């Protein structure tokens, strides 16, 4: 599916507030609600919209310790390690990398002991050779929104 200007506008509105009513989107775009409903359904079916969720405040919830962990694995095992790491709820992101490390993890925990426990578990995984951890001192910017346009 190729996105047109209307699709991009719909995505921008829903990304800013996923609770925006379809009738409100239709009003903003000067279109019929049924048309907007069909377009949103197509965007969902084609995978452009994967989920609707609330963005929670990690600090208020006590999950204010952020760390980035670089993981080195035995040759050829980084994907299987990544799949197993995906089961760890404290890990928010897992990226397979080029360069010095095989994987980069972003984790959120409530305190240093939570980080220590997580690192201990990761270190015991089969095929994990080593880890290196950077603890974030301050969050300057953390954004989930994508900068979308109709460029393709």
Write the CATH number for 130: 3.30.70.920
Which pLDDT belongs to residue 144? 85
pTM attached to this predicted model: 0.84
Residue 92 lies in a domain: yes
Residue 143 lies in a domain: no
Confidence class of residue 152 from pLDDT cuts 50, 70 and 90?
very low
Residues 19 and 75 in one domain: no
- CATH of residue 9's domain is 1.10.10.10
Residues 71 and 129 in one domain: yes
CA 102 to chain centre: 19
| Structure letter (DSSP) for residue 127 | T
Alpha helices in 108-148, H assignment, sequence order: 112-123
Residue 142 lies in a domain: no
CA distance 151 to 3: 9
Q: How far apart, in Å, are the Cα atoms of 95 and each of 59, 102, 124?
A: 24, 8, 20
Looking at residues 26-44, what average pLDDT do you find?
97
Domain carrying residue 41: 5-45
Which pLDDT belongs to residue 10? 96
């Amino acid at each position: 599916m190729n996105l047109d200007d209307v699709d991009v506008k719909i995505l921008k509105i829903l990304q800013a507030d996923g609770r925006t009513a379809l009738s409100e989107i239709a009003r903003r775009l000067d279109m019929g609600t049924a048309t907007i409903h069909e377009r949103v359904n197509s965007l969902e079916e084609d995978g452009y919209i994967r989920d609707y969720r609330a963005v929670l405040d990690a600090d208020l919830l006590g999950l204010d310790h952020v760390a980035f962990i670089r993981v080195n694995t035995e040759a050829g095992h980084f994907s299987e390690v990544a799949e197993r790491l995906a089961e760890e709820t404290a890990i928010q992101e897992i990226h397979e990398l080029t360069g010095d490390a095989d994987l980069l993890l972003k984790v959120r925990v409530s305190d240093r002991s939570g980080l220590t426990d997580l690192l201990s578990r990761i270190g015991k995984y089969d095929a994990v050779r080593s880890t290196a951890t950077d603890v974030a001192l301050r969050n300057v910017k953390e954004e989930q929104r994508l900068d979308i346009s109709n460029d393709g």
